[in-house]
Amino acid sequence: MSEAPRPVDPVQDVERLTEIGRFDLFSDEARARLDGFARRAAERLGLPIGLVNIVLYDAQHMAGSHGLTGWLAETRGTPVEWSFCATSVRTGEEYVVPDAQLDEAQCDNPLVTIDGIRSYAGVPLITSAGHVLGSCCVLGTEVHEFTATEVAELRAMAAEVVAEIESLRLPQVVAS
């Protein structure tokens, strides 16, 4: 008797990863535009860090950022295992963590234990093709109880980010 195929982790879904490759997310122009969204998200929610994260196969790329310091500012990425945003890729839903030190899924995360992240709210970036690329998110170094209004603000911002990302579509190369 053969085993049933294991479900594919959405983070590793080939169609999702292929769609990420169709966008110009790594150019200086894209970075500047997405940095602006990250800054506005942080400012609107009054938190020190705003990010537009793209979750790749084994890493998280901070395509847009505001408020990062140290090694995170230099690398603009983390291993996918440390990614709060990977949760939204896997579920397709918002992910809110008021106190990461008390959250069972995040309390051992090096971003929490070493870098001092205490709060997180992220909304999935869902393309018109239905793929979750990552999240528009905010992070804080203090506990933060996110209100429904704040999450709605982040949801509206995520829709704007997706529109911007989809405007960065690369021309398709046709094989002859």
Cα separation, 93 vs 25, whole angstroms: 22
The total of structural domains in the chain comes to 1
Which residue segment(s) compose the domain that 76 sits in? 10-167
| Closest by Cα among 119, 114, 118, 129 to 162 | 129
Position 13 scores a pLDDT of: 93
Residues 45, 153 contacting (CB under 8 angstroms): yes
pLDDT (tens digit, 9 = 90+) per residue, 130-151? 999 999 999 999 999 999 999 9
Beta-bridged to residue 95, according to DSSP, are 122
Position 8 scores a pLDDT of: 78
pLDDT (tens digit, 9 = 90+) per residue, 63-85? 999 999 999 999 999 999 999 99
Cα separation, 44 vs 70, whole angstroms: 23
Strands 95-97 and 119-126: antiparallel
* Residue 172 resides in a domain: no
Q: What is the CATH number of the domain that holds 87?
A: 3.30.450.40
Q: What is the mean pLDDT of residues 46-73?
A: 96
* Residue 47 resides in a domain: yes
* Residue 27 resides in a domain: yes
- pLDDT-derived band at 171 (thresholds 50, 70, 90) equals confident
* Residue 175 resides in a domain: no
pTM of the model: 0.92
* Residue 5 resides in a domain: no
* Residue 174 resides in a domain: no
Q: What is the mean pLDDT of residues 43-72?
A: 96
Q: Where are the beta strands (DSSP E) in 4-155?
A: 49-55, 59-66, 77-79, 95-97, 119-126, 132-140
Phi, psi (degrees; rounded to nearest 5) at 2: -85, 150
* Residue 102 resides in a domain: yes
* Residue 120 resides in a domain: yes
